[in-house]
Structure 1
Amino acid sequence: MPTGIVNEMELLSKNINELLEQKKLFDIKRLVNDLHPADVAELMTFFDRDNQVVLFRLLQKDMAIAVFEQLDFERQENLLNSFTDDKVSEILNYMSPDDLTELLDELPAKVVKKLLYLLNPDQRNMASLLLGYRENSAGRIMNPGYIDLKENYTIAQALERIRKLSPPEDMIYTAYVTDIQRHLIGIITLRDLILSTPEKKVTEIMDTDVVFVSTDDDQELVARNIQKYDLLSLPVVDHEHRLVGVVTVDDAIDIIEEEATEDIHRLAAIQTTEDEYLHSTVMQKVRNRILWLVALLLGGMVTSFIIQNQSALIQTVVSLSFFIPALINTGGNVGSQSTSIMVRGIALNEVDSRNIFKIALKESLVGSILGGLLGLVGFFRVLLLRESSMIGIIVGISIWVVVFVSNLIGIIIPLFLKKMKFDPALSATPVITTIVDMIGVFLYFQIARIFIGF
């Protein structure tokens, strides 16, 4: 958030705190209800749990629902625990179905069962339907509320239908034309409807080239399509091509943020979690990291074992040990760079099976050039330390080989994971570094043996 906005929120929170101390609740009510719901949600982060409840109770009904949808899960849960069943029922029944499903996803099963009983029949059936779809699928995140128009409608009838439905602002810009079996056959923008004559048929102006997803498609594909085609909303169809919901651009932004965070965690070899940093406990953080760290420690011990097996060679040429850290650090850095580039390329759909050979050739050339340049730096560095030129040649060639191999490993592992239907981000930077360490040390001593004749 920009610094100016943060400072403004801090000043506003101080002002409200003073009003709370003076029990001037009417002034607070007038102040917070004039703000945007997103600003109120942000403002509530400056207050403790009790005062968050007080602030929320001062909101008008429509504002309260909009603010509740903007809050993070922990604050939503705190408010639900503080309200009566009637108040909870009022909030949940006016939430959009996709936001309600997201909330129910986070709660324990017993709490979900209780909350479902507080919903009206329509909202309960809708929530049960969405919860029945696979997690992280288009069906799970879609909103079943959308503007549907029959193919025999005139423009006048279509506009009247939109007025009757009174959709929220994020869904009013696109209408979907369906046949009598609810099959999606076209889309119309609000602009086209307004600019067309009332007696025209919707089929005359609709666009039949519709981009859509299936209920089983992954949410990442949904967000990617919305981004690729610059859509405000994306229709979701079932296996029989019947329109069942839409995903809006604000949901796509949330998905992109969630997936990016997940990839960053995986690249750092951290188990992904939906808990925010400040809201997760110490033990949660330990659990998220310990398994990977233990695995990497065991991998590091393999490197130590390789070095131990070369103790006779090291005792003969002690100076070889001086350059092990520089060698494995260089290999790890190169491997991490190529892995990060490859994972990002895969995420942006710039890398696929059609251009693997081209990528492998290009990265081989890149690795050769980088290895040669860094090898020369290593060679002259050894000479500056007044070691023999033979040691310099060993170090220089070893760096060239390790950089070349590390670069290839950095692109091969993400591609292999993608081929095996795993997330390429699992090829985490620490994992690549550990693998490269083992291979780099092994190659270094093999090259040394060749030149020394040991």
Structure 2
Amino acid sequence: MTNPEKKHILYKESIKREVTALKEKILSFLDDERYEDLQALIDNATKEELAKVLETLDEDHLAKLFDCLDKELAADVFVLLKQETQKMLLEHFSDIEMQEVTEEILDEKPEELLESMPLDVVQEVLLKADPEQRNDKIVEILNFLEYKKFVQLKPLLSELKPMDIAEIFAEIDEEKLPLIFRLLPKELAAETFVEMNSTQQELLIRSFSDHELKLILEDLFVDDTVDLIEEMPANVVKRILMQADSETRKSINEILKYPKDSAGSIMTTECISLRQDMTVQQCFEKIRAQAIDKETIYTCYVTDNQKKLLGIVTVKDLLLHSYNERVEDFMQDNFVYADTLTDKEDVANTLSKYDLLSIPVVDQENLLVGIVTVDDALDVITEEATEDISFINAVTPSDKPYLETGVFRIYLHRIPWLLILMISATFTGLILNTYEAMLSTLLVACVPMIMGTGGNAGSQASVTVIRGMALDEIRPRDILSVIWKEIRVSLLVSVSVGFVCFAKLQLIDRFIFGYPYTLLYSAAVGVAIMFGVIVAKIVGCCIPILAKTLKIDPAVFANPFITTFTDVLSLLIFCGVTLGLFGLGTV
């Protein structure tokens, strides 16, 4: 044996003795619960020594010691452990307990992460991580891996939720998407496909063979297929319909004939219908036979032989009655339903109001044609809220995500409103041109404050009323109650704003900046702003209600038009008060 070999053996034995001694001290401190001494010992040990000690501990002591490490050190030690020990720790600790550690581990670059741990351990670490960080890291790994290694991530992708997979797919390179999508199990692939944006769906459809497309369509619910068709270009729609079976095509065409914003356009025809003369046992047999193809099975709908809706029954009701009882004996015949032409926003609000999981949809003859489920209602509420926010901020709503919308399309969504609002400012310009010669410079300097405060006051009232109408708390018949409440609110607000305006002109503009605002000037501006706020709040609460009465979306008349209207009124009031009431003209 050569000299260097002897030195190496002696060195290894020395390290082994040190680790053994460290292990004995750690076990002693753990058993005696001397955690302060244990922490001091950990602080003086290297991460390599701690890893070696952890490798030799039983599961109970392993978990206790690992839990004593701070999160950064725990992450550094974790990657040094053997695969069996890593898996033992991942199994022992919950997602929440491991989350901070996994965050530290996943801070590494993809290549370093894959080099430090086996891929199956990396996958388990990812499943323990915060979903947002996990998804970002999976995107990095997918973009780093070569095509032939994608299959190694199949077990990981199979454990994720469809929404998370869709989020990951939105970030990866387009050329990799079809290959990675094919790694998903059939049912998960269909669920993920529904959650993806229309651009990616079109890309996948174009890459699918006819057989692959048919398999995806078989696992889609009819309402999801209709949503897909509405987003696709004509040539893609033609291919989708060719691959759908005749029954699905019939259902698709049935839904497509309804107006875009109606309950019929968002319903699904896939629901459980029971006959009134069926026994509980027959009901369960039918549910078992059809459940796999239905979107929801908890609420079932009772009809006669002509499909006329008679009542509803839940699975809970069925479970609480004997097998021999007939459905008609205990079904609910006082139920909430929607017509196919009912506005989809009203249907969504009804689901929310009555805490329903689904609502039946009937035609003009009261025949059951489908149901609207709570997930579709949430989509409608989100869509309507997005639309309202867009209108309130003078932007035409877009059905595509911001980053996927072209620059020219964004331009087209914004420019009409800007032009309308710019031209509407002509009225304020005319008023200023008319009274400019009579207003002193000091008064003209107050115009922006008067107009801004009036516009803001009107917007406050309008947004409050629009929200109340959206939640069905305010209806057009409540207009007098709303006006009376806003008058009282506006009196309180106007007095506060008027007083602060007077104080601001005297203390800041006059005494600090030296502008010659007399008490009379300050009082005139304060009184003008008080009247402006009162009128603006009354106008702001009335216009949305009048719009609703005229069957126009109140959000369209919200911020932009109300602000412009209140600007004009505030300016007229300002000129009337200062020139007419206080006689402060320059003439």
**TM class by smaller structure:** over 0.9
Write the letter of the residue equivalent to 2:353: K
1:100-122 alpha-carbon deviations (Å, 9 max, x no partner): 10111122344323432222111
State whether residues 310 and 333 of structure 2, in contact with CA within 8 Å, keep that contact through their aligned partners in structure 1. yes
Amino acid at match of 1:354: R
Quote the offset at 1:169 in angstroms: 7.3
> What is the identity, as a one-letter code, of the residue corresponding to 1:410?
G
* Pairs within 5 Å for 1:25-40: 25-40=150-165
> Structure 1 stretches of 5 or more lacking a match?
none
Partner in structure 2 of residue 286 of structure 1: 411
Residue 358 (structure 1) aligned to one of 462, 481, 486: 481
Instruction: Name the count of aligned residue pairs.
Output: 450
Q: Write the distance in 2 (CA, Å) between the matches of 1:106 and 1:190.
A: 35
- Quick one: which amino acid aligns to residue 455 of structure 2? G
- 529, 545, 548: which one pairs with 1:418? 548
Q: Which structure has the higher relative contact order (CA within 8 Å, separation 6+)?
A: 1
Distance of aligned partners of 1:22 and 1:297 in 2 relative to their CA distance in 1, 3 Å threshold: closer
Q: Could you tell me which amino acid in structure 1 is paired with residue 373 of structure 2?
A: T
Q: Verify the 8 A CA contact 1:136 1:219 in the aligned structure 2.
A: yes
Q: How does 1:434-445 map to 2 (within 5 A)?
A: 434-445=564-575
Residue equivalent to 1:21: 146
TM-score (norm 1): 0.95
Maintained 8 Å contact 1:269/1:431: no
Partner SS for 1:312: coil
Partner of residue 122, structure 2: none
Shift of 1:248: 0.9
Counterpart for residue 311 of structure 1: 436
List runs of 5+ in structure 2 lacking aligned partners.
1-98, 100-128, 511-516
Secondary structure of the 1:285 match is helix
Q: Which amino acid aligns with 1:372?
A: V
Q: Which amino acid aligns with 1:284?
A: R
- Give the superposition deviation at 1:168: 5.4
Aligned to 1:388: 518
Q: Contact conserved, 2:205 with 2:236, CA < 8 A, in 1?
A: no
Report if the CA contact (8 A) 1:147-1:167 is conserved.
Answer: no
Q: Cα deviations across residues 44-67 of structure 1 (Å, max 9, x unaligned)?
A: 122011111111111121121111
Q: Secondary structure at the match of 2:313?
A: strand
Equivalent residues of 1:266, 1:428 under 8 A apart = yes
What CA distance in whole angstroms lies between the structure 1 residues aligned with 2:292 and 2:257? 25
Residue of structure 1 equivalent to 2:10: none
| Residue matched to 2:49 | none
Does the 8 Å CA contact 2:264/2:341 hold for their aligned counterparts? yes
Shift of 1:361: 0.6
C-alpha distance in structure 2 between counterparts of 1:355 and 1:312, whole Å: 44
Q: Provide the rounded CA distance (Å) in 2 between the counterparts of 1:100 and 1:259.
A: 21
1:6 corresponding residue in structure 2: 132
* CA drift at 1:34: 2.4
The worse-fitting range, judged by mean Cα deviation, of 250-259 and 24-33 is: 24-33
SS in 2 for 1:46: coil
Q: Does structure 1 residue 431 correspond to structure 2 residue 556?
A: no
Query: Which structure 2 residues correspond to residues 9-408 of structure 1 after superposition, within 5 A?
Result: 9-18=135-144, 20-21=145-146, 23-167=148-292, 170-314=295-439, 317-384=440-507, 385-386=509-510, 387-408=517-538
Q: TM-score, normalised by structure 2?
A: 0.74
Q: Which amino acid aligns with 1:301?
A: T
In structure 2, C-alpha distance between the alignment counterparts of 1:270 and 1:17, rounded to whole Å:
36
Letter of the 1:159 counterpart: F
1:294-352 residue CA offsets vs partner (Å, 9 max, x unmatched)? 010011232122111112112xx221112111111111111111111011011111111
Aligned partners of 1:420, 1:439: CA distance in 2, in Å?
23
Q: Is the 8 A contact 2:476 2:546 kept in 1?
A: no
Q: Determine which structure has more spread, i.e. the larger CA radius of gyration.
A: 2
Q: Matched residues in 2 for 1:170 and 1:85: separation?
A: 25
Once the two structures are overlaid, the 10-residue window that deviates more, 320-329 or 298-307, is 298-307
Counterpart of 1:379, as a letter, is F
CA–CA distance in structure 2, aligned partners of residues 38 and 329 of structure 1? 43
Distance 2:321 2:187 in 1: 33
* AA partner of residue 296 (structure 2): M
Cα deviation digits, residues 25-50 of structure 1 (max 9, x gap): 33122221222222221221220111
2:330 partner letter: I
TM-aligned CA deviation for residue 396 of structure 1: 0.9
Task: Give the counterpart of 2:577 among 433, 447, 452.
Answer: 447
* Aligned residues of 1:146 and 1:167 also touching (Cα < 8 A): no
Give the distance between the partners of 2:500 and 2:441, measured in 1 at CA: 21
State which drifts further: 34-43 or 211-220. 34-43
Whichever residue aligns with residue 487 of structure 2, its letter is S
2 CA distance for matches of 1:133 and 1:170?
A: 20
Check the 8 A contact 2:202/2:236 in 1, yes or no. no
Following TM superposition, by how much is the alpha carbon of 1:183 offset from its aligned partner in structure 2, in angstroms? 0.8
Contact 2:271 2:295 in 1 (8 A): no
CA distance in 1, matches of 2:375, 2:130: 24
In structure 1, what is the Cα distance between the partners aligned to 2:166 and 2:524?
A: 61
Q: Report Cα offsets for 1:207-257 as digits up to 9, x if no partner.
A: 111111011011111111111111111111010001110111111111111
Q: CA 1:210/1:364 → structure 2, altered by over 3 Å: closer, same or farther?
A: same
Aligned-partner residue type, residue 452 of structure 1:
G
Q: % of aligned pairs identical?
A: 36
Please tell me the residue identity of whatever aligns with 1:352: R
- Please report how far the alpha carbon of residue 22 of structure 1 lies from its aligned counterpart in structure 2 after TM superposition: 6.5
Q: Is the 8 A contact 2:272 2:294 kept in 1?
A: no
